[in-house]
Structure 1
């Protein structure tokens, strides 16, 4: 009941000033169906429910399939609560107030996304389940996230140098709606060569042409000079639509024109030819492609039980269990865990502690990772199960030290490494570390993070209390690339650190948003970097998916 009753102000992540939706990176369409006759469906985000939209009325049907599609902005780092209501409207009723309420269903957008198709019972007044159910299916509205690989060469370019040949490079500009031009790519310089072959490069279609294949692209060729005053060779205009002709292994070419020469020289033809030798579209899968394509989030918790937290029996301790107010450890655990649990089908979470003396002999072993409730059970049912295990273990242990976090990172990394070598490789691991002090194994931790950066894994560290967390900022990598003690850099940024004190007077949603906002990009970077595609593609009318995982029906908000 702690999660339900905690007196920590909840921010409504879906409610924005003037009820204006915030445009996010991912947008979802919701298609609803299956229930009673002549109804209107409402989709309401909370905590203060407000109507988003309603379906058409389908008459004389006990199993309607609605054609209305709801468009909802999706944010992984937020708990986006939805409520669907069904109403039966008689022909002589004009408004929803006079309609016959048939039932309602509540869920989160994360539950729909992770399960792809969510079916749940409709609850009537008094939270009693009737015979009716509702099915909601989600589909991502596709954007322009694909990349294109291009390769250019040139031949017979004008020679701009007296004692040698030109040193050409190519620039590609996107022409914007207002007539301005934005640089898309600049090739390397090929020295002393009038027929250069530039290296291929990759660029997103959004960057290249804003997703519009007929948008004008301006290409210019220059002769490089060391003083920065490069000599203009020529230019040409094209579109990505025209470039796509090179996708079938063909080559297309353009005359490189110098407008001044074109006016002044009577017999001027061109200043050389530029050739597109490669044009290949590379599909870049989105975070939702992976989540809806079968990727599961494996969430693990590690809690600091070192003596610097203070005696849990003392009200000044960071581990003190207040009868009415959760401590900072619980606030951080619940805020992050409530979101991650929507993406884990079995809702069983491993939970570990570090830095304590444990029964029965109370020997100190800073590298000993143990189950929080000391019962031998490593996983707990839901975030509520982790909360209860944490509360139960406090009276049984003695807080000690040191603050070593490399072992827990290595522990989760071992699981991620095993998953990486499976056939499907569709589990991504998120480790949440809650600690109150300066870590005492920085070298080993850096080594563990560099190793983990090659695995399907992210690390979130929340600093509890008022200690100096400057070393933690280094692990985050925001101020530079993290390296191991041997100098090896991380393959990708997988660590996010935030001090809880920055959110002490904010809502759980604000903390969760801060620590989880980078996770979608980290997931995408890993799988795209490895060339791993989603397990399967998902479309709203697809029938060959596994049966949906149905959660117990929640109680309705009053």
Structure 2
């Protein structure tokens, strides 16, 4: 199955190498690792790190570093190089080899940045340098699964067998070689089978199936002076053609040029076999949207008595002419973005926890436009208009039951699921002020909904205790229904509005909607559903301004 984690995050892959790292003592070379930090919220936060290379003063790391790139933000970065000998996991005074600072924008715009490493006293770390290369983010979403093994490799060890590993390089446009993968070491084995691995077609060959690939096999040595066993070359096209039929494998002679040139009867230093070469398509959120998938947005508003009398200035539902209340602010911020992904821009809007006319019975899923046959409102401005008209006509009551509205939205989502197509994904926005009264029923409803094309966003309004909401979010572990059945996937995102009341509206929207693209891709990928064909372009419509 495609890995959805690869699907929605635009990341420029950063490749890192160092040259001339300082030796911590005269007898051993460092075991370097590079730690990447991002300056965020007034502090430096680790976002990624490379693997550790043993006994190497000029390492070329195979693990790419990745972080989200935002054109509209300045993203200061720090690269810390440290010696991971003795199990060190972070730079200490006695393991620190140097660091440098730059912005992600500088790396992306220049594509390659080489900077000196600086010690903590501000001086250069000798002639040590670090080079960061940003690879272009390709439009292709193909990933390749490869499995290699080898037979009868040369033995390079005197008292035991070789400990072979293999490196794969692609040839760049300037004829330089770029490391793209390093297998694990298989100890004491001349017939190793390396673990299957998966990487993007862009990483492997820059999406050029004819690009030369070089394969080098070594005998691992803990000193860092690995013994060369042999090499061979190929292309991705050749690898595909050689494994096209079921069960078909491809093999190469592993050649040591020195032996070939010196030994008269030399044939090879073993053979390497490609046992698996499969290509899979990883779809993105944009693939589904461009393929015709609509985001069906539904609003549910808490009208329980704990919000306070709307006629009071202290009420969370107070309709002040000076400033919109928190319900309206959240609705505008989140709904304003969601409506761009819905072609008809008509949104069902419901209330819960109020007594409603004409009989003033308590309802937990009433249409705020009082039209149960057609609860849809025209654009987010229509939802806001219906909310304003609804307030004076209802009596705030209780309890705070959330399960009924979740079940109501799950109905259309279930019908969508039965089509087996990616045409409509439901997003429910719940605006509430407090503790959920029907917690058991709500947990069960969410677990059922986790199997459907559906996400739930909960915005907590006011200063109540929202611990129940954080439980529903599932960030501390999978949510389970009362019978212990876990959710199939995490579909709930909760945020308290009070954390954003002094921030611009975009901050709230960015936070609560951040998970939706992942959830969309995760659902359809888990069902094996591909996007539809891209839709033809149609003129954009401009939503009317919110009142």
1:432 paired to 2:419: no
Structure 1 match to 2:400 = 403
Mapped partners of 1:316, 1:553: distance in 2: 32
Distance 1:294 1:188, change over 3 A: farther
The SS at the match of 1:290 is helix
1:186-209 deviation per Cα after TM superposition (whole angstroms, max 9, x unaligned) = 5798x9986566675543224545
Mapped partners of 1:528, 1:394: distance in 2: 42
Distance 1:394 1:255, change over 3 A: same
Q: Is the 8 A contact 1:354 1:369 kept in 2?
A: yes
1:61-86 deviation per Cα after TM superposition (whole angstroms, max 9, x unaligned) = xxxxxxxxxxxxx99x9xxxxxxxxx
Q: Is the 8 A contact 2:456 2:491 kept in 1?
A: yes
1:412 paired to 2:409: yes
Structure 2 match to 1:391 = 388
Q: TM-score, length-normalised on structure 1? A: 0.61
Q: Is the 8 A contact 1:175 1:182 kept in 2?
A: no
Structure 2 match to 1:507 = 504
Structure 2 match to 1:306 = 304
Structure 1 match to 2:345 = 347
Structure 1 match to 2:10 = 25
Which protein has greater RCO, CA pairs closer than 8 Å, 6+ apart? 1
The SS at the match of 1:467 is coil
Taking only aligned residues, the RMSD between alpha carbons, in angstroms, comes to 4.5
Structure 1 match to 2:252 = 254
The SS at the match of 1:350 is strand
Distance 1:486 1:380, change over 3 A: same
Q: What does 1:538-549 correspond to in 2, within 5 Å?
A: 548=538
Distance 1:498 1:234, change over 3 A: farther
Q: What does 1:315-394 correspond to in 2, within 5 Å?
A: 315-364=313-362, 368-376=364-372, 377-394=374-391
The SS at the match of 2:532 is coil
Distance 1:233 1:479, change over 3 A: farther
| TM superposition shift of 1:511 | 1.6
Count of residue pairs brought into register by the alignment: 409
The SS at the match of 1:498 is strand
| TM superposition shift of 1:332 | 0.8
Mapped partners of 1:554, 1:144: distance in 2: 36
| TM superposition shift of 1:371 | 1.1
- Report which stretch shifted further, 157-166 or 370-379: 157-166
Mapped partners of 1:207, 1:153: distance in 2: 21
Q: Is the 8 A contact 2:368 2:387 kept in 1?
A: yes
Structure 1 match to 2:290 = 292
| TM superposition shift of 1:391 | 1.5
Q: 2:141 aligns with which of 119, 142, 145?
A: 145
Q: Is the 8 A contact 1:188 1:199 kept in 2?
A: no
Mapped partners of 1:170, 1:490: distance in 2: 41
Distance 1:241 1:327, change over 3 A: same
Structure 2 match to 1:11 = none
Give unpaired runs (5+ residues) of structure 2: 1-8, 13-68, 73-136
Q: Is the 8 A contact 2:163 2:185 kept in 1?
A: no
| TM superposition shift of 1:412 | 1.6
Distance 1:199 1:327, change over 3 A: same
Structure 2 match to 1:473 = 470
Mapped partners of 1:162, 1:425: distance in 2: 60
- Report which stretch shifted further, 406-415 or 439-448: 439-448
Mapped partners of 2:281, 2:231: distance in 1: 28
| TM superposition shift of 1:251 | 3.2
1:245-278 deviation per Cα after TM superposition (whole angstroms, max 9, x unaligned) = 4353353323457899999999876554221133
Mapped partners of 1:486, 1:184: distance in 2: 45
The SS at the match of 1:466 is coil
Q: Is the 8 A contact 1:172 1:220 kept in 2?
A: no
| TM superposition shift of 1:418 | 0.8
Structure 1 match to 2:62 = none
1:522-546 deviation per Cα after TM superposition (whole angstroms, max 9, x unaligned) = 2222223323222223577xxxxxx
Distance 1:181 1:359, change over 3 A: same
| TM superposition shift of 1:288 | 2.4
Mapped partners of 2:164, 2:486: distance in 1: 34
Distance 1:341 1:270, change over 3 A: same
Mapped partners of 2:189, 2:504: distance in 1: 61
Distance 1:196 1:353, change over 3 A: farther
| TM superposition shift of 1:466 | 2.0
Give unpaired runs (5+ residues) of structure 1: 1-23, 28-73, 78-140, 541-547
Q: TM-score, length-normalised on structure 2? A: 0.62
Distance 1:409 1:215, change over 3 A: farther
Structure 1 match to 2:458 = 461
Mapped partners of 2:396, 2:261: distance in 1: 84
The SS at the match of 2:529 is coil
| TM superposition shift of 1:488 | 4.0
The SS at the match of 2:148 is strand
1:524 paired to 2:521: yes
Mapped partners of 1:266, 1:480: distance in 2: 64
Mapped partners of 1:446, 1:318: distance in 2: 26
1:438-481 deviation per Cα after TM superposition (whole angstroms, max 9, x unaligned) = 33344433333333232211211111122233443343344444
1:340-376 deviation per Cα after TM superposition (whole angstroms, max 9, x unaligned) = 11221222111112222333444446xx321123342
Distance 1:472 1:243, change over 3 A: farther
The SS at the match of 1:248 is coil
Q: Is the 8 A contact 1:174 1:184 kept in 2?
A: no
The SS at the match of 1:342 is helix
Structure 1 match to 2:493 = 496
| TM superposition shift of 1:513 | 1.7
The SS at the match of 2:419 is coil
The SS at the match of 1:384 is helix
- Report which stretch shifted further, 369-378 or 387-396: 369-378
Distance 1:536 1:373, change over 3 A: same
